[in-house]
Amino acid sequence: MFTQLRLTNFKAWKDTGAIPLKPVTVLLGTNSSGKSTLIQSLLLLKQTVQSPDRTVHLNLGGDELNDLFSFGGFEDVLNQAAESPRQFSIGFDFLRESSDRVVAGQFGCIYGQTSSGSVVIQTLDLRTAERRFRAIRREKGAFSIVVDEEALPRLKGRNYSPERSIAFSADAIADLNQDGTVVEDLSLAIRRELEAVSYLGPLRRKPERDYPWNKTKPGDVGIDGRSAIDALLASDLLKSDEHRYIVDGVSSWLARMKVADRLEVRQQGRSNRYELIVHRDGVACNLRDVGIGVSQVLPVIVVAYFAPPGSTIMLEEPEIHLHPLAQSVLADLFVTISQKRNVQFIVETHSEHLFRRMQTLMAKQQVTANEAAMYFVEREGKVAKLRELEIDDYGRLKNWPDGFFGDALGETREQARLMFERQQATKA
């Protein structure tokens, strides 16, 4: 789980400061304010650690098949107000639990630009509670390796250039001897944390009337939910200890949202094609023939059950095409699944109903301040600003920015005023 995030000179952010991340973290704010950038920074690192080129310092994207985003070039990432030195940074804290131990650590990386225009690491800083390892760029592409707070570098040379943003080179690990094993384990824990990120974007695929299936379980749901149906088919048709776990889980939440009673997987004759049947109020319909909201929320619920325990699920606009009740139930989904499955949710949303439900869950003490956080992102000129929304034990908000969800009380007063004026005019 990511426990803290900090960006400097990264796109709209001059400096986010240290942002605490909880098991459920909700990001709200106006359009183009910088909410999505917070999520994208971690996705940038994820696609870097998954790059086939281990020597790459930062993979800004461009491969439509394998990359999550295309960030353009260095100048597209660097904040427009950045001063000398022209550098940006990404840093996070994490806590990773396994069956035999708990690993807590910190990652920090400062990036600059070479004379040829490519992105290069200036400083890679990896830490645990007791240890610190830094790779610092010197002249002509050489790097110094500094351990803990030692005054002098342990190693110097061009063969010590970091790999994929998070790892020391094989030569550095070998030449650090026993300390090399420590930093290698730390890099591996960071890699696993990033690889455990599941991302679902705001644009999900429209439903098909039927789907082919190759009798295997997908690796992930996909950024547009393209493999959500495959995950449902595998859950229903593959015999395992978790047979129908995802199908039944999704059905239960669709029922709570009042958009369907249950789902059914139905084979098309003897072919390897299947259709997804939605049951509601005694009527069975193909997924293609029901409201678009069902197909759009399906990947959201599927990934909540499909992502392995310990994963971080990042969602943009999960509420798209859902009616107000269903939007509010999403808050219950995130809190419940996070608690039961040890899954972290980082959610970017514009939904007032989801936000209000989170307030209610806090008031009911079904989720604590240690388990959930909500932030509001806004722009001051060209720079993004972040405020943590302060909610008391009764779910009341202390510092809500004016006008984001409109003025509900003001609208009610205006309606009452107009009604009174019309009644008076009628009497006259």
pLDDT on residue 412: 65
Q: Which residue has the higher pLDDT, 1 or 424?
A: 1
For residues 58 and 8, is the Cβ–Cβ distance under 8 A?
A: no
For residues 73 and 61, is the Cβ–Cβ distance under 8 A?
A: no
Please enumerate in sequence order all residues whose Cβ is within 8 A of that of 326, keeping only pairs 6 or more positions apart, or say none: 257, 258, 259, 293, 297, 319
Q: Tell me the per-residue pLDDT of 376-398, one tens digit each, with 9 for 90 and over.
A: 999 888 889 999 999 888 888 88
Q: Tell me the per-residue pLDDT of 40-79, one tens digit each, with 9 for 90 and over.
A: 999 999 999 999 999 999 999 988 888 899 999 999 999 9
Third-level CATH fold of 1-196+307-399: Rossmann fold (3.40.50)
For residues 34 and 377, is the Cβ–Cβ distance under 8 A?
A: yes
Whether this prediction's pTM lies above 0.95 is answered by: no
Cβ-based burial of 150 (10 A; exposed 0-12, middle 13-18, buried ≥19): exposed
Q: Tell me the per-residue pLDDT of 297-349, one tens digit each, with 9 for 90 and over.
A: 999 999 999 999 999 999 999 999 999 999 999 999 999 999 999 999 999 99
- As a whole number of angstroms, the distance between CA 302 and CA 304 comes to 5
List, as own/partner pairs, every contact residues 169-176 make where C-beta atoms lie below 8 angstroms and the sequence separation is at least 24, other chains included.
172/135, 172/143, 172/145, 175/145, 176/145, 176/147
In the chain, CATH 3.40.50 covers: 1-196+307-399
Q: Tell me the per-residue pLDDT of 368-377, one tens digit each, with 9 for 90 and over.
A: 999 999 999 9
Q: Tell me the per-residue pLDDT of 208-229, one tens digit each, with 9 for 90 and over.
A: 999 999 999 999 999 999 999 9
Packing angle between helix 292-306 and helix 228-237, nearest 10 degrees? 60
Has residue 232 got a pLDDT over 80? yes
